[in-house]
Structure 1
Amino acid sequence: MTTLATASTDDNAGAAYMQDIPAEQPWSRILKRGQTLRIVDSEGQQAVDALLYCSDDPAERYSAQDTLRVQGSAYIELGTRLVSNKGRVMARITADSCGRHDTSAGCCSCESNAVRFGEPTKYQHACRENFILELSKHGLTKRDIVANLNFFMNVPIDPSGNFTVVDGISGPGNYVDITAEMDVLFVISNCPQVNNPCNGFNPTPIRVLIRDPAAL
């Protein structure tokens, strides 16, 4: 049985921006250097897929491979530096009440749903489609989608390198803080997956807050 992380009470004080993101929906915003984005798992066990791009040059974007290589760790945790494909630090994990997050399992798509769960699931909503929709608002296309972050998603990796998506460990109110080290376009898909346990088979809302450096 999976043990949930200790539930945390989210503190909205000092937030310059706050938004509840409905289940299954995308969101995006430019974070200025020094601003901190807090993602809150409002009801628990909700995966949040994310992409980062340098807002001045979107050709520079989050690199899962470089992030894992620099850290020497298979997971995203407190203190992790999120590294770009140009080797620069885009953001850091500066607070985390969940414990660890994934950047290996990728995002769900209509095509991968059909392969994994059968042809009838092909037309279910998926994170890749959310990313395509949200990126289009910033002049980007599906060609700009790269291997992504999965906040609150529990993907154990065994010594042989095998991994699988299992029940999430985040409890209601758990959060992760990401502090920007450059101006970044931060794109979220509040994961709509219902065929594996990443969302407890029941997608739910999340909350995002942005704090300026003076409020931290």
Structure 2
Amino acid sequence: MTTTTQYPECCAKDNGDALGMNATATSPISVDGTPVAGELYTIPPRCGRAVKLKKGQVIKIINTPGSQVCDTWFFNSDDLSEFASMEHTRAFIDKIIPQPGDVLVTNQRRAIVTLLTDTSPGVHDTMIAACDLFRYSNMGITEYHDSCADNMRMALNAIGLRAREVPQPLNLWMNTPVNPDYTISWLPTVSAPGDYVEIRAERDCVAVMSACPQDIVPINGCSPKEIQFTVAG
């Protein structure tokens, strides 16, 4: 039987406040998240970043070490309650993993981004929730642990934004296959150093990325590392 450590409660009305702190909160790419076209940005291990994308811009997310999972979200710039929804996208594309040419749709079933390029073997995840403090406490961690959920919250807050919830992310390069007996395996990535995806914004949106801090199950080889990205267009 697992027990859950009682952490400080976030806002009583929603799930938008981080439950801890790391460098994500104080290290945005710019004050408002606007990128410099072509500049190579680095997301340190265990941290997150948010970037504003205009319709038509392409973000290139690079698995620099090859072994790192990147939890990724896309929010409608005009209304952060609308976001890329993995539940809706799976129904829209009739797949559990998007492939080049596939559109990701929002919780209002509208296109928000398109996956253009994927140099990896194409193993990603759309089923697993972002790690959070409660996930780690259920795994026996009794102190604060960096998490993708908090990284998303802090990355948005660092550019003056706030979402009321933590949606199911697109877990780039995460290798969590469903087995014939319907169990899930937690395996290292099958991507190579430098593999990348290119994703085009179909409307103005905010991309948030977290270099997943998971160091207990081996999805990152138990050793979180950096992720890099550029924006073109």
- Please give the range of the TM-score, normalised by the shorter of the 2 chains: 0.7 to 0.9
Q: Aligned match of 1:49 in 71, 85, 92? A: 71
Indicate if the aligned counterparts of 1:76 and 1:100 stay in contact, CA closer than 8 A. no
Q: Does 1:163 align with 2:184?
A: yes
- The one-letter code sitting in structure 2 at the alignment partner of 1:178 is I
Q: Does 1:172 align with 2:193?
A: yes
Q: RCO higher in 1 or 2 (8 Å CA, sep ≥ 6)?
A: 1
Q: Aligned match of 1:107 in 125, 130, 136? A: 130
Indicate if the aligned counterparts of 1:53 and 1:185 stay in contact, CA closer than 8 A. yes
* Distance (whole Å) between structure 2 residues aligned to residue 160 and residue 198 of structure 1: 21
Number of the residue aligned with 2:162: 140
The C-alpha deviation readout for 1:83-129, integer Å capped at 9, x for no partner, is 101111100110001113111111111111111x2143x52211111
Indicate if the aligned counterparts of 2:43 and 2:210 stay in contact, CA closer than 8 A. no
Count of aligned residue pairs for this structure pair: 195
Q: Does 1:123 align with 2:144?
A: yes
- Identity value in percent: 30
Number of the residue aligned with 1:191: 212
Task: Give 1:76 deviation, angstroms.
Answer: 2.6
Indicate if the aligned counterparts of 1:106 and 1:149 stay in contact, CA closer than 8 A. no
Extract unaligned runs of 5+ from structure 1. Answer: 1-14
Indicate if the aligned counterparts of 1:92 and 1:179 stay in contact, CA closer than 8 A. yes
Distance 1:66 1:159, change over 3 A: farther
* Distance (whole Å) between structure 2 residues aligned to residue 93 and residue 119 of structure 1: 36
SS in 1 for 2:210: strand
User: Following TM superposition, where does structure 1 have runs of at least 4 consecutive aligned residues deviating by more than 4 angstroms?
Assistant: none
Number of the residue aligned with 2:175: 154
Number of the residue aligned with 1:36: 58
Q: Does 1:90 align with 2:112?
A: yes
Extract unaligned runs of 5+ from structure 2. Answer: 1-36
Number of the residue aligned with 1:10: none
Q: State the TM-score, normalizing by the size of structure 1.
A: 0.85
